[in-house]
């Protein structure tokens, strides 16, 4: 009996007792199909047909997601104004660069809407504008036009942080609606302290109540690792980790050997070397590579120079970051085993951060200036050895304890 030939888009239900019917490739319409696209279930016969089909499928997927995201967005007035400023700046730069070109990036109608402050949706764009918009997203052009975030630890208010004897925030930040009503012009400077992450909401217990063991002398080294991962995460998200809590939490875990791998670095150089290795990895190299990584060491030094109060506020903010990641993880569509694994790591990280926060608050203030000096010295040694090279190799820290951890590649 001849085999049936199908051209329907419906997937076939095959089994060992019910052999699959033969179907024609949906791309070339010439050969029998042997494969199925995992996204649209279209049948194809060869790699060439898959590539041709895959491009269409990918563009369709991207377009659908962009449209859906734009339709679901309900921006507030501040978000609208920020986007309007970005689009105006984007159009101004494009107009400057394309003065001799006849076709404009945006149509006159769209430009007028932008300049008048009207809300623009994806459907309002012309076909050419949609293509340009999608290319701008993919290439990162729009992200370059967002004003850089100024880290809170570099602001003058970071040097005026005060905590109670129990380690809690002395002045709790006002809610937004209360602040807008009650703040006068003279109070703006004091209100700017809300830019600083607020400290713990409940008193910090003594370390002796958390553990009967004597705190490890390596906690100072572990603190450097944790501070570095925090600074990187906030710079990566331009200071807004709340926009992607689970993503931010996973970045912290990937950057910190102490929190993500349960590592026990024994020297400041070992802790910094692991962090620099992650910075130079393909996942984060786009941030600036080694030079960017060395700049983050300056962030760590700045934080240590601020003293215990700033460090406690930072660690308290990290606890909130991890906790928000845990809550968001519950709504993520992850495989059960993967979700359990991530949740276990986040729980461990939260406990570790809280313990170090309690330990930090018990330390004398002079401890942090000494640690800052050590970090600065190790940065200098890294730069003198291979920091000015474009390509560096990080050795396995488990095999090179006590040795130089960064060597240049010829």
pLDDT in tens, the chain (410 residues): 444 444 444 444 444 444 445 788 888 888 888 888 766 778 888 877 877 776 666 556 555 655 565 555 555 566 666 666 666 665 665 555 544 444 445 666 766 666 666 667 767 777 777 777 767 655 656 556 667 788 999 999 888 888 888 888 775 444 444 443 443 444 433 333 457 898 998 999 999 999 888 888 899 999 999 999 999 999 988 888 988 899 999 999 999 999 998 889 999 999 999 999 998 888 888 788 888 999 999 999 999 999 999 999 999 999 999 999 998 888 776 666 677 888 899 999 999 999 999 999 999 888 999 999 999 999 888 777 654 443 334 444 434 444 333 333 33
**Cα–Cα dist 168/203, whole Å:** 6
Instruction: Please answer whether residues 392 and 408 qualify as being in contact, where contact means their C-beta atoms are separated by less than 8 angstroms.
Output: yes
Say what the pLDDT of residue 149 is. Answer: 82
**Cα–Cα dist 409/54, whole Å:** 39
**Cα–Cα dist 230/317, whole Å:** 9
**Cα–Cα dist 376/383, whole Å:** 11
Token pair 């603190």 in the structure block, residue: 223
Q: Of 388, 406, 410, give the one whose Cα is nearest residue 397.
A: 406
Say what the pLDDT of residue 391 is. Answer: 37
DSSP type of residue 152 = G
Report the SS3 class of residue 311: helix
DSSP type of residue 16 = T
Report the SS3 class of residue 264: coil
Token pair 């764009």 in the structure block, residue: 125
Half-sphere exposure at residue 118, Cβ-oriented, CA atoms within 13 angstroms: 9
pTM of this structure: 0.59
Q: Is the dihedral of CA 173, 178, 183, 188 positive or negative?
A: positive
- Secondary structure string (H, E, C) spanning 156-168: HHHHHCCECCCCC
Instruction: Please answer whether residues 257 and 268 qualify as being in contact, where contact means their C-beta atoms are separated by less than 8 angstroms.
Output: no
**Cα–Cα dist 298/389, whole Å:** 19
Instruction: Please answer whether residues 313 and 196 qualify as being in contact, where contact means their C-beta atoms are separated by less than 8 angstroms.
Output: yes
Token pair 């997927």 in the structure block, residue: 61
**Cα–Cα dist 357/207, whole Å:** 9
Tokens describing residue 171: 């002045």
Residues 6+ apart with CB under 8 A from 60: none
Token pair 């600036």 in the structure block, residue: 288
Instruction: Please answer whether residues 243 and 321 qualify as being in contact, where contact means their C-beta atoms are separated by less than 8 angstroms.
Output: no
Residues 6+ apart with CB under 8 A from 354: 315, 319
Tokens describing residue 23: 């179907």
Residues 6+ apart with CB under 8 A from 193: 157, 160, 161, 171, 173
Say what the pLDDT of residue 301 is. Answer: 96
Say what the pLDDT of residue 189 is. Answer: 38
**φ, ψ (nearest 5 deg) of residue 230:** -65, -50
């Amino acid at each position: 009996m001849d085999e049936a030939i199908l051209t329907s888009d419906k997937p076939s239900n095959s089994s060992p007792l019910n052999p699959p019917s033969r179907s024609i490739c949906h791309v070339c319409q010439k050969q029998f199909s042997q494969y199925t696209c995992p996204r649209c279930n279209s049948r194809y016969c060869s790699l060439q047909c898959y590539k041709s089909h895959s491009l269409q499928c990918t563009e369709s997927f991207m377009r659908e997601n962009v449209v859906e995201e734009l339709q679901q967005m309900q921006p507030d007035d501040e978000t609208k104004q920020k986007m309007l400023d970005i689009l105006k700046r984007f159009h101004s730069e494009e107009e400057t660069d394309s003065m001799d070109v006849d076709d404009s990036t945006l149509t006159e109608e769209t430009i007028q809407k932008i300049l008048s402050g009207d809300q623009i949706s994806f459907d309002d764009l012309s076909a050419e504008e949609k293509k340009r918009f999608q290319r701008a997203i993919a290439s990162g052009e729009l992200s370059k036009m967002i004003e850089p975030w100024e880290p809170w630890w570099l602001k003058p208010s970071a040097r005026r942080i005060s905590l109670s004897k129990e380690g809690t925030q002395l002045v709790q930040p006002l809610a937004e609606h209360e602040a807008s009503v009650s703040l006068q012009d003279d109070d703006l400077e004091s209100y700017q302290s809300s830019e600083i992450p607020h400290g713990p909401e409940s008193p910090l217990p003594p370390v002796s109540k958390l553990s009967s063991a004597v705190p490890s002398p390596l906690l100072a080294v572990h603190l450097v690792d944790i501070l570095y991962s925090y600074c990187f995460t906030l710079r990566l998200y331009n200071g807004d980790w709340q926009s992607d809590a689970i993503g931010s939490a996973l970045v912290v875990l990937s950057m910190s050997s102490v929190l993500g791998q349960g590592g026990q670095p024994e020297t400041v150089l070992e802790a910094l070397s692991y962090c620099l290795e992650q910075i130079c990895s393909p996942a984060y190299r786009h941030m600036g590579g080694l030079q960017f990584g060395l700049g983050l060491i300056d962030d760590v030094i700045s934080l240590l120079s601020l003293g215990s109060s700033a460090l406690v506020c930072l660690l308290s903010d990290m606890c909130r970051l991890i906790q928000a990641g845990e809550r968001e993880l519950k709504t993520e569509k992850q495989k059960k085993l993967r979700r359990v694994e991530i949740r276990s790591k986040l729980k461990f990280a939260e406990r570790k951060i809280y313990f170090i926060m309690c330990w930090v608050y018990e330390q004398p203030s002079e401890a942090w200036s000494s640690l800052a000096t050590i970090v600065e010295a190790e940065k200098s040694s890294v730069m003198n050895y291979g920091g000015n090279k474009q390509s560096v190799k990080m050795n396995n820290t488990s095999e090179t304890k006590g040795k130089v951890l960064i060597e240049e590649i010829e």
